[in-house]
Amino acid sequence: MIQNPILRGFNPDASIIRVEDDYYIATSTFEWFPGVLIHHSKDLMNWRPLTRPLDRVSQLDLRGVPSSGGIWAPSLSYSDGTYYLCFTNVVGRKGVYKDLHNYIVTAPSIEGPWSEPMYLNSSGFDHFLFHDTDGRKYLFNMQWDFRKNKSRFAGIIMQEFCPDEGKLIGEIKLITQGTDLGVTEGPMVYKKDGFYYLLVAEGGTGPMHAATLMRATSVDGPYEVDPDYPIITTRDTPEHPLQNAGHGSLVKTQLGDWYMVFICSRPLPDGNKLSPLGRETSLQKVVWTADGWLRLAAGGKQPQLHIPETELTPHPFEPEPVRDEFDDPKLSVHWHTLRVPADESWLSLTECPGFLRLKGRESLTSLHNQSLVARRIQSFQCEMVTCVAFEPVAFTQMAGLVLYYDESDHYYLRISHDEQLGKHLAIIVSDQGQYEELDAYVPIPEGERIYLKATMNFDKIQFSYRLDGQSWLPIGSTLYSGNLADSYQRKLSFTGAFVGLCAQDLRGTRLQADFDFFDYEELER
């Protein structure tokens, strides 16, 4: 059986395509750099992170973007030997406004090189480029309306895209305002049996989320709504293990079967409905009815936690190693930096071979130049371990292991220096932006490197430490993992929990911290 989610941890807004025998899914990365993560599969069951196409500032500038801004809902497409990637960079999302800019990049191969971006528009988000059979191309996106007494989600618009000119041309047309589910976004367009099918997300990304199908005989409509909408949702089943189901994307296999990938969230089992792993990607088989509508192959509207394997030839990949020894001159595809690219001015894998060297910069609340490198947490039960050599001489210098949602919510096991304590280890908690230090300070001998560990067991997080040749010792009280969820305290955010290695030097002297390795081990999927 295929176990859902297929892309675990923070992997939202999936856009799937097939090119010959290869399947690719692009997901949102928001404020994390490089932008957009593309996964690869040959059987729809086994997936590996493959590439991150927006890997230079000339393509994507994230400095100063708000948390849960940046890259929203990228979409992949392919036509005549060229890959196309549409994406939004949300640079402002305060109040009723959305300051956002939409672009398209192209490449001859999924692994690049990807072009410099072509600007599209700034009218909304969730862009999708449809390649019609007559060679014309059309861009679809939701339209944002900030005005009083107007729906913020003002329907789906379309406009023709001219690849030769690299811009949108012709009339902008409103093709649907959605259904009574509201919050219509995430358009994906497919052509089959003389119909243009429009698949949209509705209901918002929370408990009311859903995916709805419409169709028309002309690309610009009018679009009729599936009489039995939505296709998929968990809005009426709050006990379902895959909550917030919606925002779908379709793919047809080389054997003629159809599948849909979609967003979902797995809540903690404590009843608080919080999902620190973020929005994940799951898979369902779908079938066409005699009258030309899509239905879940298993029946009903709720997704299945397990679905039968496809009839494609199984193609497993080598399992990811638990330990990253930092022996390669480049970071692995699992690592992201926050808003800015990794460069030798603050991150090096070569200055001290076999170590990740971070040079301390701004604080964990900065929206500009943090020295933080992190990867997704993908399991409710996991251990994360590192070993760091760091010799601070002031309280303004810190380095260590952080469990990070954003600048307002994180847990930080850090080494620093204090006039009375000297070099020591302690825990910083940021809860909705409120700074706190747990009353657990552990002196560390000068010149000694220290091992740091975070253990996550569903809703509980425990930090531990040890010195060379000694046993692990817990530090601080048990912490609540729900603080790292996007709906914690009802804040409107869209990412997920990361585990990171970081360094700060608020003096501006860029004191270095050397990390020997990093272990990420899942104790239970």
Name beta bridge partners: 168. 161
Q: Tokens standing for 74?
A: 């990228």
Query: Please, which residues have CB within 8 angstroms of residue 426's CB and are 6 or more apart in sequence?
Result: 413, 414, 416, 437, 438, 440, 441, 442, 475
Q: Tokens standing for 159?
A: 């406009």
Per the annotation, the verdict on 185 as an active-site residue is: yes
Phi, psi values for residue 146, rounded to 5°: -90, -5
Per the annotation, the verdict on 320 as an active-site residue is: no
> Do residues 82 and 64 touch, judged by C-beta distance below 8 A?
no
Distance CA(211)–CA(216), nearest Å, equals 17
Q: Please pick, among 31, 43, 126, 185, the residue that the annotation labels catalytic.
A: 185
Q: Tokens standing for 46?
A: 């086994």
Q: Tokens standing for 25?
A: 């899914």
Q: Tokens standing for 179?
A: 């259904």
Task: For Cα atoms 326, 331, 335, give the angle at the middle one, nearest 5 degrees.
Answer: 110
> Do residues 314 and 45 touch, judged by C-beta distance below 8 A?
yes
Kindly provide the b/e burial profile for residues 454-468, where b requires at least 16 CB atoms within 10 angstroms of the residue's own CB. bbbeebebbbbbeee
- Which of these, 43, 97, 102, lies nearest to 74 by C-alpha position? 102
**Taking the CB of residue 291, how many other CB atoms lie within 10 A of it?**
6
CA atoms within 13 A on the CB side of 182: 8
Q: What is the DSSP letter of 35?
A: B
Distance CA(408)–CA(2), nearest Å, equals 36
Phi, psi values for residue 109, rounded to 5°: -140, 150
Name beta bridge partners: 300. none
Question: Counting runs of H as helices and runs of E as strands, what totals does the chain give?
Answer: 0, 40
> Do residues 513 and 503 touch, judged by C-beta distance below 8 A?
yes
127 three-class SS: coil
Distance CA(41)–CA(18), nearest Å, equals 9
C-alpha distances in angstroms, 188 versus 109, 159, 181, 197, 432? Answer: 22, 14, 18, 8, 35
> Do residues 491 and 431 touch, judged by C-beta distance below 8 A?
no
> Do residues 212 and 229 touch, judged by C-beta distance below 8 A?
yes
Is the peptide bond between 113 and the residue preceding it cis, with omega within 30 degrees of 0? yes
Q: Please pick, among 13, 126, 383, 505, the residue that the annotation labels catalytic.
A: 13
> Do residues 130 and 192 touch, judged by C-beta distance below 8 A?
no
Residue ranges of the alpha helices (H) in 342-384? none
Residues annotated as catalytic (active site), given as ranges: 13, 185
